Amino acid sequence: MPFTSEHLQTYQRDGYVVVRNLFSKAEVERLYSLAVGDTVLSTKTYDRVDASGMKTKLALWYALDDSLYSKFARSARIVEGVEQILGGWAAHYHSKLMQKEPRTGGAWEWHQDYGYWYKNNGFLFPDMLSVLTALTPATKENGCLQMIKGSHKMGRVEHGFSGEQVGADMEKVNEALKIMPLEYLEMEPGDTAFFHCNTLHASAANLSDKPRWSIITAYNLATNKPYKDVHESSYMPIESFDGDLLAETEAGISETADFLVKR
């Protein structure tokens, strides 16, 4: 299994772990090429503005379909690791394609994913995590993820708006940074980060001449059914996919993938 007991121990200690080369260069190149030319994704992509006015592009959807994106989200390489972490059946909450374009891609303010999901989506328990796979190199220069190591042990922090984003209480963030290490998660295509929904994380603007694209899937313990903003996939156990991603018929995303529409 690509997700080992050592990975699990690191995740529990730090609130995140990176599994290097979880997907091959060929697998990732195929998904990236599909995403770049996917007209449905292009029409469903919207901007999220940071505190300085710079924009990150993303598309977010809830339903799994027959697309290559969904096969990545259902990949046994990911799902088995997620279920080790959660200690039970995993459900798919949502997937999103993050697109930080060269010199224009905005920052993501310090936040916990659970800061959104508890308040806005009605998940009572933090039995959730996100899994990010780099589709292009992620570096300090193009705005890679920044993690505060061990911050998941703080529990949920209050959040408020920063630009069009919801950011964590900066008093708590600044105090956390005094006593907990900050790590930049520089990643190569195919590297995959698993991170707890209460781990404080952020990313800087992309000021380089290289794009930073990634696909992120949020997973939930199937028994942790939300009481509002309910999407069926968020509490239905995933049927994992252990086939050959390179042998699959290349399929773009469906119009009916239950996309989030920016309001």
**What are the tens digits of pLDDT across the range 43-63?**
999 998 887 888 889 999 999
259 half-sphere exposure, CB direction, 13 A CA radius: 17
Residue 51: predicted pLDDT: 78
Domains located in the chain, CATH noted: 5-235 (2.60.120.620)
The parts of the chain modelled with pLDDT lower than 70 are: 161-165, 263
Tally Cβ neighbours within 10 Å of residue 209: 9
Q: How many CA atoms lie within 13 A of 139 on its CB side?
A: 10
How confident is the model at residue 263, as a pLDDT? 65
- What pLDDT score does 147 carry? 98
As to burial, measured by CB atoms within 10 angstroms (0-12 exposed, 13-18 middle, 19+ buried), residue 228 is exposed
Sheet holding 46-49, edge to edge: 16-19, 192-196, 128-134, 212-221, 90-100, 55-61, 46-49
How far is 18 from 183, CA to CA, in rounded Å?
Answer: 12
Other C-beta atoms closer than 10 Å to the C-beta of 261 total 7
pTM reported for the whole predicted model? 0.95
Burial class (CB in 10 A: 0-12, 13-18, 19+), 108: buried
The pLDDT of residue 164 is 63
pLDDT at 48: 86
